[in-house]
A and B are shown apart, each in its own frame.
Chain A
Amino acid sequence: MSTHHLDITKERCPMTFVKAKLHLEQLEPGDTTEILLVAGEPLDNVPRTATEQGFQVLESVHVHDNIHKLIIKKPE
């Protein structure tokens, strides 16, 4: 089990979703990842689609300004 990181705060649609999807696909069962993203479209949809694809969104934290951090786990 390991923790991964991804920063998509500088990305624009659709690469926010593309990079998040490719990143989540690399996780092994039990791994967690921290994803930094901005409010709006990415924050509204990355956690929703991650959940739909079988991942667990453990936490969503406001970091500063419009930056948020998601903690996502791939179930065992």
Chain B
Amino acid sequence: MAEKNKLSIISMSGDFDKVIAVFTLASGAAAIGYEVNIFFTFWGLNSVKRVTGHSFIGSGFLARFFNFLLGGRKSLPLSRLNFGGLSPVLMTGMMRGKNVATLEELFDASKVLKVNFYACEMAMHVLGLTKADFIPEVKDVLGVASFLELSKGGQTLFI
């Protein structure tokens, strides 16, 4: 039996536009039969937090403050011309108006198509987060060695 194609994405950015790229590639690849793994690290972890807005989560004063500022999936800033959070709202409206899937639709499609979500152990430690702070679809907490083992034999992207 032929080996399944595989795409592994390291999602480090917490920018709205880059997170859209992550879930566009992930859902598209899963739909055409790829095994897809996403390794969320640092600001990329914001996409899979259980809370989607700004909230004091995590352990330790600085970590809680940081997590409040970073927010979750529904408060991601655009990488350029964010205008205090107005641009992601406008961009979502433009995408919807042009029949292009929004971030939430791409995120939901990735979940339905069983894309594998993993969280970075080291970044979680720095930000005072535990697995309970993430959505249940986050399958596991990994380090570099485990992620490299998972991604072996496929294509890897860093976003």
Contact = CB atoms under 8 A, between A and B. Distances in A.
Q: Indicate whether A and B interact.
A: yes
Interface of A: 10-15, 17-18, 20-22, 45, 49, 52-53
B79 to A, nearest CB: 21
Contacts of B112: 22
B106 interface: yes
A18 B99 contact: no
A21 B98 CA distance: 22
Contact of B101 (A12, A21, A22, A53): A12
Interface residues of B, number: 17
A68 B113 CA distance: 26
Interface string B103-121: 0011001001100000000
Given A15-B105, A18-B113, A21-B113, A49 B32 contact: yes
Given A15-B105, A21-B113, A45 B32 contact: yes
A12 B25 CA distance: 13
A15 B101 contact: yes
A14 B28 contact: yes
A18 B106 CA distance: 9
Contacts of A12: 98-101
Contacts of A15: 27, 101, 105, 109
